Amino acid sequence: MIKLIVGLGNPGRQYEKTRHNAGFLFLDRLVSDSDCDWVGEAKFDGLLAEIGCAGGKVLLLKPSTFMNRSGQAVGKIARYYKLASDEILVVHDELDFDVGVVRLKKDGGHAGHNGLRDIIAHLGVKEFYRLRVGIGRPPSGKVVADFVLSCPSKSEWVLMSSAFDLAASYVDQMVVGDMAMVMNKLNSSK
């Protein structure tokens, strides 16, 4: 069962709608569809919300640290609630997928993603679930950091929004632990 969904992103208005904030944007979608609000929680270095699902309630966390220090917040909340790593789902942007592709996996390295790298370091394990939202690769000659910190085009935003809708439709199943079914459905979708 998933007890905590963490969205990765950077705090601050200048980053709100950037590709790198795909995790924050997905959680904002879940909160806007629920009867809840974000609450600042200093002891967890982040914003928390709790949404109702078929399996009960699930905590949502947006770290208020920058992306590269996301593990600080995740480690604190995981220790406080005594969460096993496989009860955590991390939602993040994925360069290796076309815009709008969404995939679920468990385990793995950080593949150069500094937010994942820091979470692995703070949890001491890599066996947590990841919901990867495709943002595509930068055009030839564009620096990766500049690309991920820029806003998607209108057409890219439509694709990302559709990916958020698709992933949101499986949150209940993820929370109750039907991860194999969700992986099968998401990982075979176009």
pLDDT value at position 171? Answer: 94
Residue owning tokens 């950091």: 145
* Contact in structure between 59 and 104 (CB atoms under 8 Å): no
Catalytic annotation, pick one of 20, 92, 113, 122: 20
How much of the chain, in percent, has pLDDT values that exceed 90?
Answer: 85
Q: In the predicted model, what is the mean pLDDT of residues 143-163?
A: 95
- Give per-residue pLDDT as tens, 109-142: 777 788 999 999 999 999 999 999 999 999 888 8
- Give per-residue pLDDT as tens, 27-60: 999 999 888 899 999 999 999 999 998 768 999 9
20 flagged as catalytic: yes
Mean pLDDT (the chain) is 93
Residue owning tokens 């600042």: 40
- 98 has pLDDT over 80: yes
pTM greater than 0.85 (yes/no): yes
Tokens representing residue 66 in the block: 């920058």
Dihedral angle, C-alpha 161, 93, 77, 49, nearest 10 °: -10
pLDDT value at position 54? Answer: 78
